[in-house]
Amino acid sequence: MQHKPLREQTIVVTGASSGIGLATARMAAQAGARVVLAARSGQALARIAREIEEAGGQAVHVVADVGERADVEAVAAAAIRAFGGFDTWVNVAGLTIYGPLHAISDADHERLVRTNLWGTVFGSLVAVEHLRKRGGALINVGSVASDLAFPFQGMYATTKHAVKGFTDALRMELRLDKAPVSVTLVKPTSIDTPLPRRARNYMDREPMLPPPIYRPEEVAGAILHAAVHPRRDIIVGGGGKLMVMGKEFAPGLYDLLAPAIVAFQKRAAPPRRPAGALHAPEEDDTGHVRGDQPGYVMRTSAYTRAALHPLAAAAAVAGLGLAAAVLLAPDRSRQRRRPF
């Protein structure tokens, strides 16, 4: 299955006020797509839509809580009013909670599940209802936590495991119906977004993401690739792929890494905003693609780009091999001129 070029598409992006969602919306608009921005932060969305339009793009925005089905239906209705429908729907909206599972309140657990899981469920079902008629792509953003568990982000990992199960089941049902809809699950590794700063934090330290860290634009590129050239799953970040493979090979050993994983999620500084944006948006902390993750952030993922473009990667490897063979080959002309 192959879809329209990006310049001919209308793309809906939830969680578009910051991080991966914002990077995806901007990149899609730069490629000529019409974009529909959805998030809880109205002021940020208005600024972002204005930026896109001033740059020559087309954008509309809808204030929506993806944990409410009526809000998600309003996003779809806005896309239909503005652009006659949509071709790709990207479920990005998500939050996290840092802290041991036993210390976290039921209300906080429930809110996280409503956003991360039910937000993806509602977005997917509303999108597919429309896409069945015209074809297109559904892209859900999971995480390497869809395949791995992380202590002190236990409920986040729970929701991402559930997103994977839901996405896989929905894909199978659409194939049974022969619906012209591709379904992709994108699984980023740690990404330098404002996610830790916006998290609900029960720890005594400011949270951060465990390395290796990648740029949000790397995820946005994978999402938009899947909007045209569907893939079943895309792991963004070779480090994440290695962790998933390691856990499958030696799950008991991975469990023993729990103290190190917890340590890698804590900064030395005390918490800044423990309440985070779990229950309400923080308008002054939106509109940012990048976070303030300490340490080195990798610009690209060679693994992900090779996975998305296997023929080009194979050609590059073959070219390098040929060049190496030429450089290492003996110089026969010199051998012929060598005196006896």
Eight-class DSSP state of 285? G
Angle of CA points 245, 250, 254, to nearest 5°: 85
Q: β-pairing, 181-188 with 136-141?
A: parallel
Q: Which residues have CB under 8 Å from 57's CB, separation 6+?
A: 29, 30, 32, 34, 35
**Whole-number Å distance between alpha carbons of 308 and 93:** 24
- Look at the block and give the residue holding tokens 């993922």: 301
The full length of the chain comes to: 340
Token output for 18: 């910051």
Report how far apart, in Å, the C-alpha atoms of 193 and of each of 68, 116, 159, 285, 321 are.
24, 16, 19, 11, 37
Burial state string for 134-155 with b = 16 or more CB within 10 A and e = fewer than 16 = eebbbbbbbbbbbbbbbebbbb
Query: Which helix H or strand E contains 184, and what residues bound it?
Result: strand 181-188
Cα dihedral 312/316/319/320 (nearest 10): -170
**Whole-number Å distance between alpha carbons of 139 and 177:** 19
- Look at the block and give the residue holding tokens 């590059």: 316
Catalytic residues: 156
Burial state string for 320-337 with b = 16 or more CB within 10 A and e = fewer than 16 = eeeeeeeeeeeeeeeeee
